[in-house]
């Protein structure tokens, strides 16, 4: 029987993480590298992503290579996944984390469909494109672990802000994760993490008053820090979870309990 701590080691593994340049993605990339994984560091528009990846490599002693990957562009996703597989020789773990939020208010408010299309393109189609590309790699290898970043918003209607489009997109992510867990059961595991309100760039739209309301609705009385989420990702990425697939782990300070 393996040592319990060794089960959580990522030594020798290769992890591809989208949306890795900030927030949850960056915290996961750092945690994975500290746990022994080499990192394919996916980013889109961050001007400092390449420098961040280089600094992470220097800090952890792991191989970290930055890849520009706008997840809403299927052809680019396919090429980047192939580039990662060629560069590292394999892909053990993929964290499909890239996403955007909805700040347009009630669903009927925008005068055109641009905001809706953008959130569907990134949050729904982007996750599908990543899954499709890495699924081929996993099937060829005969193993792999795909982890989606979903949200508690997949399960609830957030208040007081109006964000139906975001909630719908995250519900799709959670459902995609569960469906792929069944479809891929013979060769890969698929799980999702659903954070509650977390201090990241994606929540910068919220003013102090709105954030105070979030805190009042959360039993522990505050937002999460990205580092408080990484244990879930390490579990799903590691050999500690070899019989875990189709799970959605909610980390929300008790928000969805009340």
The pTM is what? 0.96
pLDDT by residue for the chain (258 residues), tens only, comes to 678 889 999 999 999 999 999 999 999 999 999 999 999 999 999 999 999 999 999 999 999 999 999 999 999 999 999 999 999 999 999 999 999 998 888 888 877 799 999 999 999 999 999 999 999 999 999 999 999 999 999 999 998 989 999 999 999 999 999 999 999 999 999 999 999 999 998 787 888 999 999 999 999 999 999 999 999 999 999 999 999 999 999 999 999 998
Q: Which residue among the candidates 67, 145, 170, 241 is catalytic per the annotation?
A: 170
Does 3 map to a domain? no
Active site residue 216: no
Q: Which residue among the candidates 21, 151, 169, 177 is catalytic per the annotation?
A: 151
Does 4 map to a domain? no
Range of the structural domain that residue 212 is part of: 9-245
Does 1 map to a domain? no
For residue 133, is it left (φ>0), alpha (ψ between -120 and 50) or beta?
alpha
Q: Which residue among the candidates 166, 197, 233, 255 is catalytic per the annotation?
A: 166
Does 104 map to a domain? yes
Asked if 109 contacts 200 with a C-beta cutoff of 8 angstroms, the reply is no
Name the CA dihedral angle for 52, 53, 55, 56, rounded to a multiple of 10 degrees.
120
In this structure, the strands spanning 248-251 and 14-17 are: unpaired
Active site residue 151: yes
Active site residue 170: yes
Does 73 map to a domain? yes
């Amino acid at each position: 029987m393996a040592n319990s701590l060794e089960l959580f080691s990522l030594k020798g593994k290769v992890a591809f993480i989208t949306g890795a340049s900030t927030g949850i993605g960056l915290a996961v990339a750092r945690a994975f590298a500290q746990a022994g994984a080499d990192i394919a560091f996916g980013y889109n528009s961050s001007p400092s992503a390449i420098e961040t990846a280089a600094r992470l490599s220097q800090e952890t002693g792991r191989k970290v290579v930055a890849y520009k990957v706008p997840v809403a562009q299927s052809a680019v996703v396919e090429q980047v996944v192939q580039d990662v597989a060629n560069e590292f020789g394999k892909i053990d773990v993929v964290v499909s984390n890239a996403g955007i939020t909805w700040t347009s208010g009630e669903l009927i408010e925008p005068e055109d469909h641009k905001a809706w299309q953008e959130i569907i393109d990134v949050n729904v189609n982007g996750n599908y494109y990543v899954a499709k590309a890495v699924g081929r790699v996993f099937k060829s290898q005969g193993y792999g672990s795909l982890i989606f970043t979903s949200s508690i918003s997949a399960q609830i209607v957030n208040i007081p802000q109006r964000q139906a489009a975001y909630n719908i997109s995250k519900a799709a992510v959670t459902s995609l994760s569960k469906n792929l867990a069944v479809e891929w059961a013979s060769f890969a595991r698929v799980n999702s993490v659903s954070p509650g309100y977390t201090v990241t760039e994606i929540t910068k739209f919220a003013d102090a008053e709105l954030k105070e309301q979030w805190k009042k609705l959360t039993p522990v009385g505050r937002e999460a820090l990205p580092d408080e989420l990484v244990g879930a990702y390490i579990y799903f990425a590691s050999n500690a979870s070899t019989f875990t697939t189709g799970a959605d782990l909610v980390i929300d300070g008790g928000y969805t309990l009340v």
